[in-house]
A and B are shown apart, each in its own frame.
Chain A
Amino acid sequence: MRSLSPALASLANVFRIPMSLTPVRPAVSRVCHETLSRQSAPTTAAVQTAPFSSTSTLAKRKGGGPQVDKRITLIRYFLYHPLTPRPLRFSRNRFLRHWTIHRAWQLFQAQQRKKQELELQRQYQSMQAACEELRTGAGDGGKLFRVSMNKKGVFTDLFPIEYARFQTESPAAEGWNYEWKRPEKKY
């Protein structure tokens, strides 16, 4: 079983072929747990003896204890495991094409954003100009403008909860409820 190639093992894994002792890469959590439990003993069990030293006694002693960082061990394990896919490599021309397309896409998005922003700005300004015209040009001393700016009867803070409906793919089974009346507010 040990001699099985990793590719075959991965295929077996994909096709759910039960294998004992498969060399498939074990789960991350298990390996981490094992490595940590194996290696954490000397490093974390070292009790600080000197009052102002953060160096453990074992590390301080000359040549004492293997200086292994378990995080690096784990990174190396998973990075160089045969089942880890190889990094994405492009030839030079292909990378340049990829870069060109990426830049164009970024540029296109930026142009779109700018267009939207300008459109919003235009709309806002045109609304403002209309209001100004109403205020000064209507000839009624701005009365119409003041009335139109009155927010009474408009939901300024929140919508009433009865208006809320779950967004569904299809209309409701009973359709529109024509009988519904807004409940009276009790002030």
Chain B
Amino acid sequence: MAHCERASKPLLQCLRSNYSRSLAGVQRHGFHSTAVAADEKAPAESTSEPFYKSPDPSLVSSPRLERQLMRGGVNPIGSRRRRAALQGSSNLPFEELPYQCFQEARKILQADREEKLADIQKMEVRIANVEATPTEQMGEQAKKSKLPAMRIHLDKLKILADINDPLVKRKFEDGQGKGFDVSSFHATGINICDFATGDMSKPIYQYLADQKWREYRRKILVQRITQMKVIPDVLAKCDPVVDTRLYFGKHQIQPGEFVTAKTTTVPPKLDVQLFERGEKLVTIAVVDPDVPNVETDNFDYRTHFLAVNVPVSATATKVDLSQLSADSQVVLPWLPPVAQKGSPYHRLSLFILEQDGSKPLDFTAVKASETDRDAIRLRTLQRQYQLKAIGAHLFRTLWDDTTQEVMEQLGFEGADMELRRKKVEPLPYKRRNPSSFR
């Protein structure tokens, strides 16, 4: 080690002198640029001021200056190591970094992008032409089949134009990483999930978010709803295409999680992320297929919530079930789910069903016909109103410490009852001491 230190000493000294020389210039430059960004009148005085008088939080590296900054209420940005490294760097933007291979690669990608942009323009002109052509000239059927295909191709081109851009990738990771990370979510609450506001209107970010969702979260969801048999029990099939998150208060509920009765007394909030353009009107239904029925020795359905005509889009994702309007959307208001003591767990399945052609349903008619929570079947609703399941979620409830209290609040009938499994008589050959033995 000693050899090493002795050998590197001149080098270090050399570096140090270089560093201090470059420091002055760069720091002035750095400060100048930030000052311009912050306010316009600062730069004239800041150039004359030495660095130690007003250190830059993104460049300061000496502990004394850091302390001075922090006393002023400004925290230095990043690690000290990073700040020290930035002092010596010319702080180039990412796309101008002088790596030859990188720059050559960027040239190729940019050429491709320009090609794609030209294609997009050409495609837009073509679509406009087809739209402008009178129907008699080219036939209604041809127009009907041609236009959507051309629009799909245009969307694809728009995605292809941007998908190779490293800055798009970085922006997506920056904007989305927070939203998808569950641990950071728990630390800071619900506001962090506002990841989608600015970006999600663009097709490339929609595409990237869709890919990311399909990679993991959708797989989990599909596994949960199929393994817990929600899919054949409540609806025949469901191919989720929207990302649905469910929150009770500030807590996000993972698909299939057990939720205490006290938590579910307030209606949940939903975050329905659409990955395509345009607004959709959806029907939201929460169905419990596990209501025990002692008379028939079977399980019944109960609809805990039903709302129609709920607008969702790629940018407007938040749906608060308690905030939906009672006279145009909510058919059946939220009924807190409770599981009787001794009953097997209840699967509370939430379905998001797209209304046919995103046309609004007649609210008064629906409200008049769908009044009995226990009589509604989601399959029937689906057939009757031409609904298509585009999203699902699931949580479970079981008897717990808070259920009794919630049941009393609700005036639930079977609150004082405990369900017991029937004693199953063993088959004769499995009996320990059958009468035939005596």
**Which residues of A are at the interface with B, using a C-beta cutoff of 8 A?**
92-93, 96-97, 99-101, 103-105, 107-108, 111
* A105 pairs with B105, CB closer than 8 A: yes
Binds A, one of B17-25, B59-67, B163-171, B271-279: B163-171
**Distance of A155 Cα from B68 Cα, bound (Å):** 89
**Distance of A93 Cα from B109 Cα, bound (Å):** 18
* A96 pairs with B94, CB closer than 8 A: yes
List chain A residues, Cβ under 8 A from B104: 104
List chain B residues, Cβ under 8 A from A104: 104-106, 108-109, 164
**Distance of A101 Cα from B166 Cα, bound (Å):** 10
Interface of B is mostly: helix
Minimum C-beta distance from A103 to chain B (A): 5
- Give the A-B pair count, Cβ closer than 8 A: 38
Asked if B97 is at the interface (CB within 8 A of a chain A CB), the reply is yes
**Distance of A97 Cα from B95 Cα, bound (Å):** 9
**Distance of A105 Cα from B101 Cα, bound (Å):** 10
List chain B residues, Cβ under 8 A from A99: 166, 169
Contact A101:B169 (CB < 8 A) given known A93-B94, A107-B109, A108-B108: no
Contact A101:B105 (CB < 8 A) given known A96-B94, A107-B112: yes
Asked if B99 is at the interface (CB within 8 A of a chain A CB), the reply is yes
List chain A residues, Cβ under 8 A from B94: 93, 96
List chain B residues, Cβ under 8 A from A105: 105
Encode contact with A along B162-196: 1 for CB under 8 Å, 0 otherwise: 00101001100000000000000000000000000
Selected from A92, A97, A103, the residue in CB contact (under 8 A) with B164 is A103
* A100 pairs with B109, CB closer than 8 A: yes
* B106 pairs with A100, CB closer than 8 A: yes
**Distance of A93 Cα from B105 Cα, bound (Å):** 15
* B105 pairs with A100, CB closer than 8 A: yes
* A96 pairs with B169, CB closer than 8 A: yes
Interface of A is mostly: helix
Minimum C-beta distance from A8 to chain B (A): 15
Question: Nearest residue in A to B173 (C-beta to C-beta)?
Answer: A92
Minimum C-beta distance from A105 to chain B (A): 7
* A107 pairs with B164, CB closer than 8 A: yes
Asked if B52 is at the interface (CB within 8 A of a chain A CB), the reply is no
* A100 pairs with B166, CB closer than 8 A: yes
Smallest CB-CB A-B distances: 5 pairs:
A104-B105, A101-B105, A104-B108, A96-B166, A100-B166
Asked if B385 is at the interface (CB within 8 A of a chain A CB), the reply is no
Q: Can you offer 7 A-B residue contacts whose CB atoms are under 8 A?
A: A96-B169, A101-B102, A101-B105, A104-B106, A104-B164, A107-B164, A111-B112
Minimum C-beta distance from B370 to chain A (A): 50
**Distance of A100 Cα from B107 Cα, bound (Å):** 11
**Distance of A100 Cα from B105 Cα, bound (Å):** 7
List chain B residues, Cβ under 8 A from A111: 112
Contact A93:B102 (CB < 8 A) given known A100-B109, A103-B164, A107-B109: no
Minimum C-beta distance from A115 to chain B (A): 13
Q: Which of A99, A101, A105, A108 has the most C-beta atoms of chain B within 10 angstroms of its own C-beta?
A: A101
* A97 pairs with B99, CB closer than 8 A: yes
**Distance of A96 Cα from B164 Cα, bound (Å):** 11
Question: Nearest residue in B to A98 (C-beta to C-beta)?
Answer: B102
List chain A residues, Cβ under 8 A from B166: 96-97, 99-100
List chain B residues, Cβ under 8 A from A93: 94, 97
**Distance of A93 Cα from B96 Cα, bound (Å):** 12
Q: Which of A96, A100, A104 has the most C-beta atoms of chain B within 10 angstroms of its own C-beta?
A: A100
Question: Nearest residue in A to B104 (C-beta to C-beta)?
Answer: A104
Encode contact with A along B96-128: 1 for CB under 8 Å, 0 otherwise: 010101101110110010000000000000000
Minimum C-beta distance from B182 to chain A (A): 21
- Other CB < 8 Å A-B pairs besides A97-B102, A100-B106, 19 of them? A96-B94, A96-B169, A96-B170, A97-B97, A97-B166, A99-B166, A100-B102, A100-B105, A101-B101, A103-B105, A104-B106, A104-B108, A104-B109, A104-B164, A105-B105, A107-B108, A107-B109, A107-B164, A111-B112
**Distance of A96 Cα from B165 Cα, bound (Å):** 10
Minimum C-beta distance from A97 to chain B (A): 5
Minimum C-beta distance from A139 to chain B (A): 41
Minimum C-beta distance from A99 to chain B (A): 6
List chain A residues, Cβ under 8 A from B169: 96, 99
Question: Nearest residue in A to B112 (C-beta to C-beta)?
Answer: A107
Question: Nearest residue in A to B165 (C-beta to C-beta)?
Answer: A100
